[in-house]
Amino acid sequence: MNRGNHTHIIPPPPFKKGEFYLTRKVLTSYLRGLGGLSLIIVFSISSYAQSISKDTLKIQEVQVSAKRPVDEIGLVKTTIDTSIVKTSESESLSELISENSNIFVKSAGRGALATVSFRGTSASHTDVLWNGMTIKSPMLGQVDFSKIPMFFIDDVSLLHGGASIQSSSGALGGSIQIDNKPNWDNKFALKFKQGFGSYTTINDYLQIDLGNKKIQSKTRLFYNYSKNDFEFVNKRNADIDPNTGELIFPTQKNKNAEYLQYGLLQEVYIRFAQKYALSVKYWGQQSDRDIPRLITYEGNDYSNISQLNENTHRIIADISRFGKHSKFNFSSGFVYSNMEFIMKNYVSGKGYYNTLYSINESKSSYNKLSYAYRFSEKTKISFNYEFNYHDVLSEDSIQNQGYLENRIENMFFLSWNQTITKQLSSVIMLRQNFIDNNTVPLIPYLGLDYRLWKTYNLYAKASFSRNYRYPTLNDLYFQPGGNINLKPEQGWTTDFSLSSKIQIKKINIETSATAFYTDINNWIIWEPSTQGYWSPRNVKRVIAKGLELHFNTSFKLAKVRFKFNTNYSYTSSVNMDKETAWDDDSYGKQLMYVPVHSFNLFAQAFWKGYSLTYQNNSYGERFITSSNNVNKRDVLYPYFMNNLALGKDFKIKHIRFNLNFKIYNLFNEEYRSILHRAMPRQNYLLSLKISIS
């Protein structure tokens, strides 16, 4: 279509910033050659491995690699390899999750909002817990994964489906646990990492560890900045060639997309009187980012300028007492968040003025008391009580509207782990919640483990559970659009899985296959209203079902060490609400933005201090209409994202160095994660890490 003529205005004074120039053509050509050479190396190593693996696979000896933790009986749980966590320390949690798990991540671009869909559910159906304390917003009920730096995380694990009630309630899809841990063998350690990348990207990381056998201190700081002004071909706005009548798609820059994040994580761990342990952790972070316009925007460069700024403080204190057969724990935490959203336009002769200015402030207190007692090697009982308080202020000073509300939560939890026979074990969990003056129905969970084959550590797991999610404060009270008549979401989930962890000589193999079925009633969705704003309502029924496959192996051939981790998911998440309008054809259709097929692969090879890492992240098509319209404008096509990194470790006296060069979007894929949001093509990051210990 033809673009409309732009209104002539007097531009505002330019804001000068440092520029970053690259000889893009030469550098791109060189790096593509390097990428091709790296793939040849991978192929050569793989061929070599295959040539000698025939003898290796004939070995019959099988060893069980580890003993199952009693707390994981009857649960579908995935723990991401710590070496992969360390490899991803320059990235956000959204990138780690999308590349190494069965969870689909919906990203609005580099440094922009990233939310997840766990087992075909929505972003608000996944909980995130930091050292046992939820960090999801009491307003939105969800987490922006792009704001969680991997540099601040030591361990990442996933609880699938109903298993999430072990740590929280309302996570109909599952929960993600991120944890920090001390190193009691450490006396002093220092780590500094500097990174430079495309689009004026600068990353800085610093970690200082001090301590002894009784007290440990760990301090981490990070700073991430990017101008984020990549180029893209805009296929949603076009000019018409006056001679031929053909559409001309312009090449544009991603404007108003700059972002800045920085933060501090301070941890202190103390052990005393042999039976007691105390820890205090503080996480403070500032995030400022401009929000680029949609690629369909046809106005001038001085209108609809949006910015989102967020300041967050989290602190949690934890004390534990260890008895001969018991453990007592008390933790108390506080989270403060202040989010500011601004949209402004420029008026000639007057300057900029705000068309939107909203402030959202939340304060949450979390308190948890837990006790666990092991009667014998076969029986363990745990009890938790939680008291949480939330206070939220949301206001728009331009529209002069908002709300001020609070919420009180009392939650009780009981679990009983029982080994019935040598092959069969079980877990029963019960959760009872009281939210304000409302009683949430009892949430039960039953899980069974059966050892099918001791030699290969092969287990079958089955579980059945119910779950409830109470509407968030925004769901109920947001102005305009909140719906105080919303019902809590409720549903039941069943799982069946087969898993195995074995070691054949020096080859470690971990596999699992899980089938799941989730039936949810009163699903809450936000949609446009006849009054011109968005409002939530309950959908009668959604059924999510599918299959999760996981394979992980590590081994050594000659002097080369290999690590492979791969996941595949088939997810059918369908609207089964029959009580729809006569012209609504969303019944029986896949939910928006949920891919049916997703796959990822992490492969790594080490040789004489060199490392080669390859990552693939693939998603099938995603519909952006509830009716699953196959029109080109209503479908996001499948994409296959590939990243490649080459690293080198070396040591000079007592100082260790790691030099790493990473290529994102190796094959220069053109893709979209969200409709009308531009994504970068091939780009690069060079980093150097210095470690002293």
Q: Is the peptide bond before 480 cis (omega within 30 degrees of 0)?
A: yes
pTM (two decimals): 0.87
Kindly state the tokens that stand for 499. 């898993």
pLDDT digits (tens, 9 = 90+) for 486-545: 999 999 999 999 999 998 888 999 999 999 999 999 999 888 777 778 899 898 899 999
Kindly state the tokens that stand for 23. 């000889």
* CATH entry, 24-692, from 3.40.1050.10, 2.40.170.20, 3.40.630.30, 2.50.20.10: 2.40.170.20
Of 581, 502, 567, nearest to 537 by C-alpha is 581
Contact 20, 200 (CB under 8 A): yes
Burial of 488 (0-12, 13-18, 19+ CB in 10 A): middle
Which H or E run includes 34? helix 24-56
In angstroms, rounded to a whole number, what is the distance separating the alpha carbons of residues 192 and 180?
Answer: 19
Q: How remote is the C-alpha of 282 from its chain's centroid?
A: 21
In angstroms, rounded to a whole number, what is the distance separating the alpha carbons of residues 683 and 688?
Answer: 17
Radius of gyration of the chain (CA): 26
In the predicted model, is pLDDT for residue 1 greater than 50? no
Distances (CA, A) of 433 to 107, 207, 369, 521: 33, 40, 15, 19
In angstroms, rounded to a whole number, what is the distance separating the alpha carbons of residues 546 and 528?
Answer: 30
Contact 322, 275 (CB under 8 A): yes
Q: Which residues contact 91 (CB under 8 A, 6 or more apart)?
A: 150
Kindly state the tokens that stand for 283. 């996480």
Which H or E run includes 24? helix 24-56
Of 512, 513, 596, 604, nearest to 554 by C-alpha is 604
Q: What is the mean pLDDT of residues 430-457?
A: 93
pLDDT digits (tens, 9 = 90+) for 594-629: 999 999 999 999 999 999 999 999 999 998 888 877
Contact 559, 521 (CB under 8 A): no
Residue with tokens 């990353």: 203
Of 507, 552, 606, nearest to 42 by C-alpha is 606
Which of residues 398 and 122 earns the better pLDDT score?
Answer: 122
Q: Are strands 174-179 and 126-130 parallel, antiparallel or unpaired?
A: parallel
pLDDT digits (tens, 9 = 90+) for 136-171: 999 999 999 999 999 999 999 999 999 999 998 899
In angstroms, rounded to a whole number, what is the distance separating the alpha carbons of residues 416 and 335?
Answer: 31
In angstroms, rounded to a whole number, what is the distance separating the alpha carbons of residues 268 and 273?
Answer: 17
pLDDT at 67: 58
Give 4's pLDDT tier (boundaries 50, 70, 90): very low
For the chain, the domains span 24-692
pLDDT at 359: 94
In the predicted model, is pLDDT for residue 377 greater than 50? yes
Which of residues 631 and 22 earns the better pLDDT score?
Answer: 631
Q: Are strands 201-211 and 188-197 parallel, antiparallel or unpaired?
A: antiparallel
Q: If DSSP codes are grouped into helix, strand and coil, which group holds residue 48?
A: helix
Task: Please report, rounded to a whole number, the percentage of residues in the chain having pLDDT higher than 90.
Answer: 68
Number of H helices, E strands in the chain: 4, 35
